[in-house]
Structure 1
Amino acid sequence: MTEAQTPPSPLEPDYDVVVVGSGGGALTGAALAARAGLRTLVLERTPLIGGTSAYSGGACWLPGSAVQQRAGLPDSTEGARSYLGAVLDHPDPAKVEALLAHAPELVAELEADPLMDFEWIPFSEYYDAPGRVPMGRSIQPVPIRRDELDPAVAALVRPPVERDRVGAPGRSTLSGGQALIARLAAIVVREGGTIATGHHVTGLARNADRRVDRVRAHGPDGPVEVRAIRGVLVAAGGFEGSAERRKQRGTPGRAEWTMAPRGTNTGEVIDAAVAVGAATDYSGEGWFCPGLEHPDGSGSFTLGFRGGLMVDQHARRYGNECLPYDRFGRLMAAAPERIPSWFVFDDREGGRLPAIAMPEGEASDHLAAGTWVRADTVEGLAEAAGLDAAALTATVERFNRFAAAGTDDDFRRGDDEYDTFFAGSGSPNKALVPVDRPPFYAARFVLSDLGTKGGLVTDASGRVVDDDGSPIPGLYAASNSTASVFGSAYPGPGAPLGAAMTFASLAVRDMRS
């Protein structure tokens, strides 16, 4: 991992707002608090800021804003309400309405700052449901050059995942999630806020009035404690990096397959909130995705399949490979014979994976390690992958007949706009490309995630509640540290960031009241 030099602890004894974590939700809350004149402290466990948000494409699902209006999209709060009404199971109406009402206000408030600018990003939403916007309603921060930033901020932003995992530095132009993190952090610093890296939060404490007003952490110089006069905002990710907590809570997948930066998001901050009375809900499980397995046992977020087919350990397809990644990930999790799966493809792209894997790695390394296998025939490929040759041959032949006819009779691949969003040329169905050009390849896939989505229960103001549903004074939460407003659904690109940013903003609004 790339590491920045963690300076000695710069902490003072008292702040108005203490934010735990430095992802998109955390820094939105910190930036707004600092802009409001509140003395703001951000505590980040690692030497770099941004967490999984910095690895992301930076898409934000924030419907009904001026950004969509500028792009001429048929987006509206009412349309987003219809869409969520169709795709969410058992939602909390108050929280959904809070999200919808505040999203355009948040975008307007952020864009009022000269350091923040958004643009529309074409990216299909994940369900064919009423209120869906063709080509999506998600927005993203405009890229920013590193030399436009305060050098102290630029040095802290976590690089893209494919560079971070090999210890390489970030790029000169920050885009996507890095642009979001850099812009928000720059606002925090400009407004006099403090970002303290290398501070691992170990506990929370209540005062005599039962208000959460102290945060304990372990910093470069040892244990520290700070007071939060207005409130503590917990936005430190989930528990995806903890094998023990995943097992305890029945969360599919493994810690080594998650996309969270290594050594982060292990759930101690959630447990610290539970220790002061917070209620929890883990039913949402996670933001899942098929993960290309790497020789070191890690997984890579993979989407945008434009060829090939996925089979289980019985050499059978089990779903539309072009489904949105969370939906396909949940199919993987539904049966044990699907983890691992094998993704079968041909030499149509010169031996490169016909998909977007972040990172993909080198084919030669995969082949040497056995995470990919190659053969001149489908039968030989089956033998190399440990699959039944007759079953795999039948599966590939059936898929190729679908490609020739232009219709996937089994799983309707190519029927939805998302299925063809990443596809290239092809006829008669560009989402169905035959697998018929040797040599043939199979890549091993596991169940990865972008984070867990179960945790602290919050209300429509971002306040953490106890088991009776009463707010715990002084304690707020957002991001994957909370039970998601979307439950087990993943509505569209940027839903995790959009919700995290919105409820962090609502939390700061409540602290100011």
Structure 2
Amino acid sequence: MSASRAIDVPRALPAEVDVIVVGSGAAALTGAFAAANSGLCVLVLEKSSYLGGTCAYSGGAMWLPGNHILERDGVEDDVETGLTYFRATVGDRTPRDLQEAYVRTGPEMVAFLADEAGFLADKMSFPDYFEAPGRAKPTGRAIGPTPIPSARLGAALDVLRPTAAADKFGRDVARAELHGGQSLIAQLLLALDGCADVDIRIECPMDSLVYENGRVCGVRAGRAEIVARLGVIVAAGGYDADDARRRSLQGIAGGGAASTPVGINTGDALDAFTAVGADIDLLEEAWWAPGIVMPTGRATFLPIVQGGIFVGTDGRRFADESLPYDRLGHELLEQVHRLGADATFWWVFDSRDAGAPGICEPPLVLEEFTADSEWFHTAETVKELAGKLGIDADTLAATVERFNKGAADGRDDDFGRGIDDFGRFFGTGNGSNPALIPLEIGPFRAMRLVLSDLGTKGGARIGTDGEVLRPDGQPIPGLYAAGGSAASVAGHVYPGPGTPLGSGMVFAYRAAKAMARARGGARTPEVATR
């Protein structure tokens, strides 16, 4: 298959193709398949030794309202309701026509992948993230890839990026069956295998774009200069692994807290865009989330908090811990900006459960932590725990006491925990408010909490077909961006699960179809109203 050739003996790069795709995540491979399916000659360039990008770590959720999979699986949803919700949450931070292109194209792209690639997916039960008009209740409107046997990939399994648990934390993870983002990437690679003229390369970074006579006409990769007759789609992630840039642009420490592959997304795309005069936006933003520091010093992604409380070094809570992870991440970001990039936070919980009271990726294994280390502490009483954390004992004890009293009454008068449907959906308590569970059973524990993210949001500003724009709003001919390399259509917010993957895939799809139309023989993407 095409992906299998990526692990063959290195071959000379082609001198000329129709479309070059930079990156190999869900957006990149969707663009590559849409172009190849239209009869175009496609070259995929991947910087690292693995295919899949950050998507390979993910749950594979895609936020694409009104698609046929939701209808098949009994979810009442339509494009207009989804667009109402998206506009209500994003507002005017991104252009209205860009928002419409994303939401209205989603159903066509899903149908295209199902019909042309045999793509298998199912609804996911995961609520939208804001109480706003058009919110899908009670279980949201995300879809996710159906698990598939890894044997279908053959030798290409060796170049599919491992899960985060294996890749970042060294755990032994079986891959007899591929789930989530692993399945999504695998299904796209299998689709590309059926295309006539696709070349996929690993360990082949783009060094720069070739820009001549006011247009992008190819890329430089090592000693090679490859012509792209129709254009280049850059879907190569953001700059989440560039600590210096993140400290400068976002005011955060970095240091391995991002939940993305280590050392890969270093801002190469951003540098390439800047060199050809692209307009750049949203550099201050990311898909934020809480993270827990593991003994390796790297952070896990903590999307769901079901118990315990978050406190700073003052021993006080600062947010509703049951918020959707990006909203909770923004609360952490506010604290970081107020207290400094190196501020310390803790997740404090009791021993009611054997493990940590939340859903983490990869899952937390308490036995991996050394007690009273830099990242984890345990004590028989709250006051003793406070002493180990360097927090005033009376303050932390008062914070826990106040929280426990509210939990008993089913109320959080400080931050409203459990008011929103999201917190209640994942709550595990048996009282009147399932999101509130008192901290009563020793020993008490604390894990180091950090601001993490699923990647940065800043990149090239794009038009409705993913075309990269100049500061004057005019497109740079021959250049397209999608995924983490494009400024997100969602602006400052994260409307629902799967917005990063769903939007990235849509704009890469639209970019490929635009180039196919320029060549002749492809129809304009439909805008659904169902």
Same-fold call, TM cutoff 0.5: yes
**Partner of 2:477 in structure 1?**
473
Letter in 2 for 1:86: A
Task: Return the offset for 1:126.
Answer: 0.2
Local SS of the residue matching 1:344: strand
- CA deviations over 1:145-191 (Å, ceiling 9, x no partner): 01123x13322211210111244465110111001101111212321
- Work out the CA distance in 1 between the residues paired with 2:398 and 2:126: 34
Tell whether the 8 Å contact from 1:202 to 1:269 is kept in structure 2 after alignment.
no
Letter in 2 for 1:127: F
Out of 176, 187, 193, the residue aligned to residue 189 of structure 1 is 193
**Partner of 2:387 in structure 1?**
383
1:399-418 superposed matches below 5 A: 399-418=403-422
**Partner of 2:306 in structure 1?**
306
The reply on whether 1:367 has 2:364 as its aligned counterpart is: no
- CA deviations over 1:248-304 (Å, ceiling 9, x no partner): 323535141111111100001221121011110125510000010122321111021
**Partner of 1:445 in structure 2?**
449
**Partner of 1:27 in structure 2?**
29
468-477 or 422-431, which deviates more: 422-431
Out of 160, 185, 193, the residue aligned to residue 157 of structure 1 is 160
**Partner of 1:277 in structure 2?**
277
**Partner of 2:439 in structure 1?**
435
Local SS of the residue matching 1:152: helix
Local SS of the residue matching 1:184: helix
- Work out the CA distance in 2 between the residues paired with 1:169 and 1:436: 35
**Distance change in 2, residues 1:359/1:211 (3 Å):** same
The reply on whether 1:47 has 2:49 as its aligned counterpart is: yes
- Work out the CA distance in 2 between the residues paired with 1:356 and 1:499: 25
Q: Percent identical across equivalent pairs?
A: 42
Give the ranges of 4+ consecutive aligned residues of structure 1 lying more than 3 Å apart after TM superposition: 4-7, 166-170, 336-339
Task: Return the offset for 1:435.
Answer: 0.4
Tell whether the 8 Å contact from 1:6 to 1:198 is kept in structure 2 after alignment.
no
The reply on whether 1:123 has 2:126 as its aligned counterpart is: yes
Tell whether the 8 Å contact from 2:348 to 2:446 is kept in structure 1 after alignment.
yes
Letter in 2 for 1:154: L
- Work out the CA distance in 2 between the residues paired with 1:225 and 1:152: 29
- CA deviations over 1:105-137 (Å, ceiling 9, x no partner): 101101103531121111011001110111100
Task: Return the offset for 1:425.
Answer: 4.0
Tell whether the 8 Å contact from 2:466 to 2:508 is kept in structure 1 after alignment.
yes
Aligned residues: 503
The TM-score, its normalising length taken from structure 2, stands at 0.92
1:452-467 superposed matches below 5 A: 452-467=456-471
- Work out the CA distance in 2 between the residues paired with 1:348 and 1:243: 37
- Work out the CA distance in 2 between the residues paired with 1:429 and 1:10: 62
- Work out the CA distance in 1 between the residues paired with 2:255 and 2:218: 30
The reply on whether 1:342 has 2:318 as its aligned counterpart is: no
**Distance change in 2, residues 1:477/1:199 (3 Å):** same
**Unpaired segments of 5 or more residues in structure 2?**
1-5, 518-530
Local SS of the residue matching 1:113: helix
- Work out the CA distance in 2 between the residues paired with 1:332 and 1:10: 48
The reply on whether 1:297 has 2:306 as its aligned counterpart is: no
- Work out the CA distance in 2 between the residues paired with 1:7 and 1:213: 28
Task: Return the offset for 1:497.
Answer: 0.3
The reply on whether 1:107 has 2:110 as its aligned counterpart is: yes
- Work out the CA distance in 2 between the residues paired with 1:399 and 1:102: 45
**Partner of 1:286 in structure 2?**
286
- CA deviations over 1:334-354 (Å, ceiling 9, x no partner): 12349421111011112x111
**Distance change in 2, residues 1:42/1:304 (3 Å):** same
Letter in 2 for 1:266: T
**Partner of 1:228 in structure 2?**
228
Tell whether the 8 Å contact from 2:247 to 2:253 is kept in structure 1 after alignment.
no
- Work out the CA distance in 1 between the residues paired with 2:453 and 2:8: 28
- CA deviations over 1:11-33 (Å, ceiling 9, x no partner): 21111110000111111001111
**Partner of 2:506 in structure 1?**
502
**Partner of 1:248 in structure 2?**
248
**Distance change in 2, residues 1:488/1:284 (3 Å):** farther
Tell whether the 8 Å contact from 1:63 to 1:80 is kept in structure 2 after alignment.
yes
Tell whether the 8 Å contact from 1:159 to 1:170 is kept in structure 2 after alignment.
no
Task: Return the offset for 1:36.
Answer: 1.1
Out of 62, 78, 86, the residue aligned to residue 60 of structure 1 is 62
- Work out the CA distance in 2 between the residues paired with 1:249 and 1:382: 34
Task: Return the offset for 1:72.
Answer: 2.1
Letter in 2 for 1:80: G
1:80-91 superposed matches below 5 A: 80-90=82-92, 91=94
**Distance change in 2, residues 1:284/1:106 (3 Å):** farther
**Partner of 1:267 in structure 2?**
267
Local SS of the residue matching 2:301: strand
Letter in 2 for 1:249: L
**Distance change in 2, residues 1:214/1:72 (3 Å):** same
Root mean square deviation of aligned Cα: 1.6
Task: Return the offset for 1:392.
Answer: 0.3
267-276 or 209-218, which deviates more: 209-218
The reply on whether 1:171 has 2:203 as its aligned counterpart is: no
**Unpaired segments of 5 or more residues in structure 1?**
none
Tell whether the 8 Å contact from 1:277 to 1:466 is kept in structure 2 after alignment.
yes
Task: Return the offset for 1:322.
Answer: 0.5
1:309-320 superposed matches below 5 A: 309-320=309-320
The TM-score, its normalising length taken from structure 1, stands at 0.95
**Distance change in 2, residues 1:255/1:372 (3 Å):** closer
- Work out the CA distance in 2 between the residues paired with 1:33 and 1:243: 35
- CA deviations over 1:198-220 (Å, ceiling 9, x no partner): 0111100123x3221121123xx
Local SS of the residue matching 2:221: strand
- Work out the CA distance in 1 between the residues paired with 2:450 and 2:429: 28
**Distance change in 2, residues 1:255/1:5 (3 Å):** farther
Local SS of the residue matching 1:101: helix
Out of 69, 72, 75, the residue aligned to residue 73 of structure 1 is 75
Tell whether the 8 Å contact from 2:117 to 2:191 is kept in structure 1 after alignment.
no
- Work out the CA distance in 2 between the residues paired with 1:23 and 1:170: 21
**Partner of 1:96 in structure 2?**
99
Tell whether the 8 Å contact from 1:253 to 1:447 is kept in structure 2 after alignment.
no
**Distance change in 2, residues 1:178/1:500 (3 Å):** same
Tell whether the 8 Å contact from 2:429 to 2:437 is kept in structure 1 after alignment.
no
Letter in 1 for 2:477: P
- Work out the CA distance in 2 between the residues paired with 1:8 and 1:73: 47
